[in-house]
């Protein structure tokens, strides 16, 4: 039993040691499709989450896509939809850029928000995110990270901090 467990640990360690972008997943002309889970306050969210607190249920579903305009740099667009206690919010959106420093540390800057109500009360944010990309083969990566969203209209909305786990497909 010890040999089996030791072998499995060695295989996982070898996999993660070799799990960096080696097959040009982040090179010019490639595509990125990404889904994130969001922990913390989800604002203008294109992430996937479900919650129920004090009898109020909420969910959000979304995805992001990007195109590498140069090696390690992708321009991204994202869309999401959510409901709180059965009432739907309009589409959430995200526009940004993601840079893979040393092909394994994704850093993202973006503008995101939700189009609800009057224009002066729409929640919009400028966000920054950093993480680490574990490449699990030629086309898949897992990217845990931390994101900070700064509200552009702080009269109505607060800044927020999120923890994300991203799942990305590279083509």
Of the candidate ranges 6-10, 109-113, 114-118, 133-137, the one whose mean pLDDT is the lowest: 6-10
Main-chain dihedrals φ then ψ at residue 12, nearest 5 degrees? -65, -40
Single out the residue of 75, 153, 161 nearest to residue 113, CA to CA.
153
What residues form DSSP beta bridges with 129?
A: 108, 147
Q: Could you tell me the domains of the chain? A: 2-170 (2.40.160.20)
* pLDDT of 12 higher than 60: no
- Its pTM stands at 0.79
Name the pLDDT band for 31 (thresholds 50, 70, 90).
Answer: very high
Interatomic CA distance for residues 108 and 112, integer angstroms: 12
Exposure of 105 in the CB half-sphere (CA atoms within 13 A) = 3
Kindly report the number of other CB atoms within 10 A of residue 124's CB atom: 18
């Amino acid at each position: 039993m010890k040999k089996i467990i030791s072998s499995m640990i060695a295989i996982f360690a070898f996999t993660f040691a070799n799990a960096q972008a080696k097959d040009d997943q982040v090179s010019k002309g490639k595509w990125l499709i990404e889904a994130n889970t969001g922990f913390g306050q989800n604002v203008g969210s294109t992430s996937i989450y479900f919650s129920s607190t004090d009898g109020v249920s909420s969910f959000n579903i979304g995805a992001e896509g990007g195109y590498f305009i140069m090696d390690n740099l992708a321009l991204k667009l994202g869309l999401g939809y959510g409901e709180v206690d059965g009432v739907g919010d309009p589409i959430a959106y995200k526009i940004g850029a993601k840079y893979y420093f040393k092909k394994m540390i994704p850093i993202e800057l973006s503008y995101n928000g939700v189009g609800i109500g009057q224009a002066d009360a729409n929640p919009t944010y400028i966000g920054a995110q950093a993480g680490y990309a574990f490449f699990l083969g030629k086309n898949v990566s897992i990217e845990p990270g931390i994101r900070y969203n700064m509200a552009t209209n702080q009269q109505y909305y607060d800044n927020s901090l999120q923890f994300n786990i991203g799942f990305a497909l590279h083509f």
